[in-house]
A and B are shown apart, each in its own frame.
Chain A
Amino acid sequence: DAGVIQSPRHEVTEMGQEVTLRCKPISGHNSLFWYRQTMMRGLELLIYFNNNVPIDDSGMPEDRFSAKMPNASFSTLKIQPSEPRDSAVYFCASSFSRGSGETQYFGPGTRLLVL
């Protein structure tokens, strides 16, 4: 298994443009998490899904951010319009959840730079 796959690995865009980040979780996992990592705030959970259903999106910064999981093998995180303060590394993670305490497996991250 290649593990959690994220694309693109790097993204440079201009302020105001739409950005779409993609994630393919590990096959068989039923939970998917989106995190944002910055120097100032560390690693923050944005949203997580269980069985393709969003469970907690309290970490999503504002309406410019949206996430979808149309099926068990794919999720997207979209920023529209993007702003320079959105520059960060975005991680996707997945786990096989039986309630709590399961290991999360992280992808390599997408490094986003908004100019």
Chain B
Amino acid sequence: AQRVTQPEKLLSVFKGAPVELKCNYSYSGSPELFWYVQYSRQRLQLLLRHISRESIKGFTADLNKGETSFHLKKPFAQEEDSAMYYCAPNRSGFQKLVFGTGTRLLVSP
């Protein structure tokens, strides 16, 4: 069965500290992976996708097929990064995303 796990419900860090939001998946084949973010009072929106290999707002995510992980990282957290983050694998060839339960990131000054 397709499964995605975000083990941390809440991650609290101080401004300037490194951040890593964990995501592990269990998928057959080669999934495509996404991170979506929901800032307070805003819509859920795409943060990044592993295909594009972009760095968005300082965040990066590396697909580790051996560990079946797609952790989201940022070297220096900012207060405006406080939000809810969802990892979402997508089975290649299908449109359906399966969202993790999400991790709330709180960045304190």
* Chain A contact residues, CB within 8 Å of chain B: 3-4, 31, 33, 35, 41-45, 48, 50, 55-56, 91, 93, 95, 97, 99-109
The B interface is mostly helix, strand or loop, or mixed, namely loop
Query: CB-nearest residue of chain B relative to A40?
Result: B101
* Chain B contact residues, CB within 8 Å of chain A: 32, 43-46, 49, 51, 86, 90-102
How far is B98's CA from A103's CA once the two chains are assembled, in angstroms?
Answer: 13
Contact B46 A104 (CB under 8 A): yes
Set B43, B46, B92: member contacting A103, Cβ < 8 A: B46
Apart from A101-B49, A106-B43, what 6 extra A-B contacts exist at CB < 8 Å? A4-B43, A45-B96, A95-B95, A97-B95, A99-B95, A100-B91
Known pairs A91-B44, A107-B43; A48 contacts B96 (CB<8 A): yes
Contacts of B92 in A (CB 8 A): 100-101
User: Could you say which of A3, A100, A105 has the most chain B C-beta atoms within 10 Å of its C-beta?
Assistant: A100
